[in-house]
Amino acid sequence: MADPHAKGHPYHLVDPSPWPVVGALSALVLAGGAIMFMHGATWLVLAAGLLMVLFTMFMWWRDVLKEAEVQGHHSPAVQIGLRYGMVMFIASEVMFFVAWFWAYFNAALFPEVHTATGGVWPPVGIQTFDPWDLPFLNTLILLTSGTTVTWCHHEIREGNRDKAIFALWLTVLLGATFTAVQAYEYSHAAFGFREGIYGSTFFMATGFHGFHVLIGTVFLSVCLWRLYQGHFKPDRHFGFEAAAWYWHFVDVVWLFLFCGIYWWGQ
């Protein structure tokens, strides 16, 4: 007799999970804590919200990893859905950065309508970064990391696990180096976040990009651990592909930042 519980389709129906609700609550606490902190309140609510978000991310992704590696639910049909989801996520990230570029170029292209700029761009009194100094170094670092993550992808598809691990180690180290260089650059800035529209738009655009680099570095570090565990196969490695797509997105955004804000904006 046929098994009445047998699955007659290639899709995965996710078990009831608390993490969407917990994640939404955590994001609410984080946002509320950030607003409170910006208005002079204690940082404890902000820290609690951040810890809640990190805990939710860890537990949720742990369950996804279990679905893929232990339960084997990520069939080819499921992987197509995951790819569409990652594409839509990156599209939402693109629009996020469009907002910061819009704010920057609205002031940069029409400085005469912003009295705080003195009618010129960069505004009067702002000493910008030399684009061919640390920003150019970081450009080389990030573009090189895009090459090494592609190298890693090639080695995974060829089944060369040791070479893939080496290439991914290089990518993670380059990502960490980028973050260190940007932190050094920020510490030597001749202007602050609150010193007019240039400082606020500059630090919001480049700072959020730096935050995405940090997230991407963590993402790739998890993939590195999974490589050591033997999770990625030549025909099944979407977790790494998603991380690589995200990293290439970060690369492209930086090129726009370098050309538009550091170079042209000078």
Mean pLDDT by 10 residues, the chain (266 residues): 59 82 95 90 92 93 85 80 92 95 90 75 87 95 96 95 96 97 93 85 93 93 93 88 95 95 89
Asked whether 77 and 11 are in contact (CB, 8 A), the reply is yes
Half-sphere exposure of 43 (CA within 13 A, CB side): 3
Among residues 59, 56, 70, the alpha carbon closest in space to that of 12 is found at 70
pLDDT at 248: 96
pLDDT for the residue numbered 213:
96
Q: What's the CA gap between 206 and 191, in Å, rounded?
A: 14
pLDDT of residue 41: 87
Specify whether the CB–CB gap between 152 and 241 falls below 8 A: no
Superfamily (CATH) of domain 75-264: Cytochrome c oxidase, subunit III, four-helix bundle (1.20.120.80)
pLDDT at 8: 65
3-class DSSP assignment, residue 4: coil
Supply the pLDDT for residue 21. Answer: 96
CATH 1.10.287.70 in the chain is located at 9-73
Instruction: Let me know: does 104 contact 201? Beta carbons within 8 Å.
Output: yes
DSSP state of 261: I
The pLDDT of residue 7 is: 64
Burial bucket for residue 130 (CB in 10 Å: 0-12, 13-18, 19+): exposed
DSSP letter for 9, please. Answer: S
Distances (CA, A) of 244 to 62, 98, 148, 176: 19, 21, 10, 16
The per-residue pLDDT for 32 is 95
Q: What is the DSSP string of 31-85?
A: HHHHHHHHTT--SHHHHHHHHHHHHHHHHHHHHHHIIIIIS----HHHHHHHHHH
| Residue 174, pLDDT score | 97
Q: Across-strand partners of 233?
A: 236
**What is the structure's pLDDT at 33?**
94
What class does CATH assign to 9-73?
Answer: mainly alpha
122, two tokens: 């960069």
For residue 126, what pLDDT is reported?
86
Per-residue confidence (pLDDT) for residue 141, from 0 to 100: 97
> Look-up: residue for tokens 């069939």?
75
Segments of the chain assigned to CATH 1.20.120.80? 75-264
